[in-house]
Structure 1
Amino acid sequence: MFEILNATRDDVVAVRMGTGTPAGYREFYDLLVEKTDQYGTVHVYEETTDWTLSTYLSHLHGILPDLRTGPSFNIGRYAAIGDSRWAKLLYYQWRAIAPVWPVAPDDMRYYELANRRMALNWVETGDTNPDENTSNR
């Protein structure tokens, strides 16, 4: 379901999301709980590239794990990086329900694929200018 990217370290989880599965959500949420236990808050960089309608619909598997596991982790900054209308649609739906959803981040943003570096910098530092805080992650 997801690939852990090299930028994952300390309180940052960076992943490339593929098709959603129940087992994949359990594994992903276990990682978020572990990072929250260690750091109090976890920041998430999530690439959602090459999504189709089928990929989008597969992430409905995440609804029950959200409700069950969501209170066990705390997402601070969350960046969705995408290149399709389906990835963008899921992001905006999540943003719309954020006030009442248990896994909603404190701050969330959507970035086009061309702005990956800016997105990762923001997740890591909270700064929107990648040239001021260049990261080697």
Structure 2
Amino acid sequence: MPAPPFQPGTHPGCGKVKEVLSRLGDKWTVLAISMLVEQPRRFNELKRLIGGISQQMLTRTLKGLERDGLVTRKVYPTIPPQVEYGLTDLGRSLALPLMQLGLWILDNINAIEAHREAHDRKAAQD
């Protein structure tokens, strides 16, 4: 991995990195990928597993992931049509670091919450 430039944001690839990070940093993207790690799933199953996501937002998220090559969309010729989503090899390669990040959060959530509470108490006193 090349060293970052002395002037942040001046590397020609920074815009591309920013664009991809904006997709991957979205909570719905992380949750959708996490739900697809074990097996492909149908749309309504994903919606139910994720919880709290609207149909429109899930559709938008899955279309973006499909466009980026992270998710496949398979339509079964049934009435009504059934659609199943799964991770591509590229999506699976992303799932591991995302899951590791989730584990890091779980390992450190107590410390994070304690820092938040201390910060909020101090802010309320100022």
TM-score, normalization: structure 1? 0.26
Report which of the two structures shows the higher radius of gyration computed on alpha carbons: 2
Bigger strand share? 1
TM-score, normalization: structure 2? 0.28
Bigger helix share? 2
